[in-house]
Amino acid sequence: MFIKQSELFWDLDHDFVKEVMEKAEKESMAKGYILFFEGQAATHFYFLIKGKIQLKVGDSGMSVFMLNHPGECFGWSSLVGRERYSAMAECLAATSVFKIERNAFDRACRRYPEDGMRFMKRLAALLGKRLVQGYEMMNATMRQSAWRVEGTGQVQETPTEE
């Protein structure tokens, strides 16, 4: 898988993609490996080559997103001015990624500002899509908790306090 296959890099200038590819490091990890922890310094951005990554947040380790398609990206905190990762990334299978150091990516964006801007707009759209998916998941969870099952097997609406 080449980085260019990622939707974030579609139709960007060849020289920009080439520079990013030259700075990318391929890394392979075993199932159970933690790429980064929530709160750890956000130093790299990642693209999945193969495998399965679960992003988790909070003390409970609630899963917030699953990555299992080549070209999917994560570690976006490193690109948007956040100093720390907002989630933990755990390998759920043997996994390979490309990782790009934040400063190397920033330099490529400064050298090719139009491509950097197009990339960041695509990243914003991707993050917006994930945010909407999170809202939908929260909404579904809230709807489920609005019902309770009585000992008879009947489902009754949970009374709300007014």
Domain residue limits, the chain? 3-146
Check if CATH label 2.60.120.10 holds for domain 3-146. Answer: yes
More confident of the two residues 128 and 40: 40
With 0-12 / 13-18 / 19 or more C-beta atoms within 10 angstroms meaning exposed / middle / buried, residue 21 is middle
At 3, the pLDDT band (50, 70, 90 cuts) reads low
The pair of structure tokens assigned to 146 is 């609005």
- Residue 102's pLDDT is 94
